[in-house]
A and B are shown apart, each in its own frame.
Chain A
Amino acid sequence: MKLETLKQVNAERAARRPVIVVTDVANGDQRLVKARDIATDPLGAELSRQLRMGKSAMIESGGKKLFLNVYAPTARLVIVGAVHISQALAPLARSLDYDVTVVDPRTAFASPERFPDVPLIAEWPDVALPPLNIDHYTAFVALTHDPKIDDPALLHAFERDCFYIGALGSRKTHAKRAERLKAQGASDADIARIHAPIGLSIGAVSPSEIAVAIMAEITAELRLPKEGETQTAKVQAA
Chain B
Amino acid sequence: MLNRDEDILQAAENWQKAGHGVALATVVETWGSAPRPAGSSLVINDDGTFLGSVSGGCVEGAVVTEALDVIASGKPKMLEFGVADETAWNVGLSCGGTICVFVEKVGQS
Binding site for B on A (CB under 8 A): 1-3, 6-7, 9-10, 13, 23, 25, 27-28, 55-58, 67, 69-71, 74, 94, 97, 99, 236, 238
B13 touches A1 (CB 8 A): no
Q: CA A2 – CA B2 in complex, angstroms?
A: 27
Interface flag for B106 (CB, 8 Å): yes
B16 contacts across to A, CB distance below 8 A: 3, 6
A2 touches B102 (CB 8 A): no
A27 touches B10 (CB 8 A): no
Contact of B106 among A1, A70, A236 (CB under 8 A): A1
Contact of A238 among B10, B30, B78, B102 (CB under 8 A): B30
Query: What is the CB-to-nearest-CB distance from A7 to chain B, in angstroms, rounded to a whole number?
Result: 6
A74 contacts across to B, CB distance below 8 A: 2, 4
Cβ contacts A to B, 17 pairs, < 8 Å: A1-B105, A1-B107, A1-B108, A2-B108, A3-B13, A6-B106, A6-B107, A23-B104, A25-B28, A28-B75, A28-B76, A58-B38, A67-B26, A67-B28, A69-B26, A69-B39, A70-B39
Q: CA A6 – CA B107 in complex, angstroms?
A: 8
Query: What is the CB-to-nearest-CB distance from B62 to chain A, in angstroms, rounded to a whole number?
Result: 19
Interface flag for B52 (CB, 8 Å): no
Interface flag for B18 (CB, 8 Å): no
Query: What is the CB-to-nearest-CB distance from B42 to chain A, in angstroms, rounded to a whole number?
Result: 13
A28 contacts across to B, CB distance below 8 A: 75-76, 104, 108
Query: What is the CB-to-nearest-CB distance from B106 to chain A, in angstroms, rounded to a whole number?
Result: 5
B75 contacts across to A, CB distance below 8 A: 28
A55 touches B6 (CB 8 A): no
Query: What is the CB-to-nearest-CB distance from A181 to chain B, in angstroms, rounded to a whole number?
Result: 32
Query: What is the CB-to-nearest-CB distance from A124 to chain B, in angstroms, rounded to a whole number?
Result: 26
Q: CA A97 – CA B78 in complex, angstroms?
A: 30
Binding site for A on B (CB under 8 A): 1-2, 4-6, 9-10, 12-13, 16, 24, 26, 28-30, 34, 37-39, 75-76, 78, 102, 104-109
Label chain A's interface by main secondary structure. Answer: mixed
B102 contacts across to A, CB distance below 8 A: 23, 25, 67
Query: What is the CB-to-nearest-CB distance from A12 to chain B, in angstroms, rounded to a whole number?
Result: 11
Query: What is the CB-to-nearest-CB distance from A72 to chain B, in angstroms, rounded to a whole number?
Result: 10
The 3 lowest CB-CB distance pairs between A and B, nearest first, are A56-B39, A28-B76, A56-B38
A55 touches B107 (CB 8 A): no
B107 contacts across to A, CB distance below 8 A: 1-3, 6
Contact of A57 among B1, B2, B38 (CB under 8 A): B38
B39 touches A58 (CB 8 A): no
Nearest A-chain residue to B106, judged by Cβ: A1
Query: What is the CB-to-nearest-CB distance from A146 to chain B, in angstroms, rounded to a whole number?
Result: 28
A23 contacts across to B, CB distance below 8 A: 28, 102, 104
Nearest B-chain residue to A56, judged by Cβ: B39
Q: CA A70 – CA B102 in complex, angstroms?
A: 15
Query: What is the CB-to-nearest-CB distance from B90 to chain A, in angstroms, rounded to a whole number?
Result: 25
Q: Known contacts A6-B16, A23-B102: does B38 contact A13 (CB below 8 Å)?
A: no
A238 touches B108 (CB 8 A): no
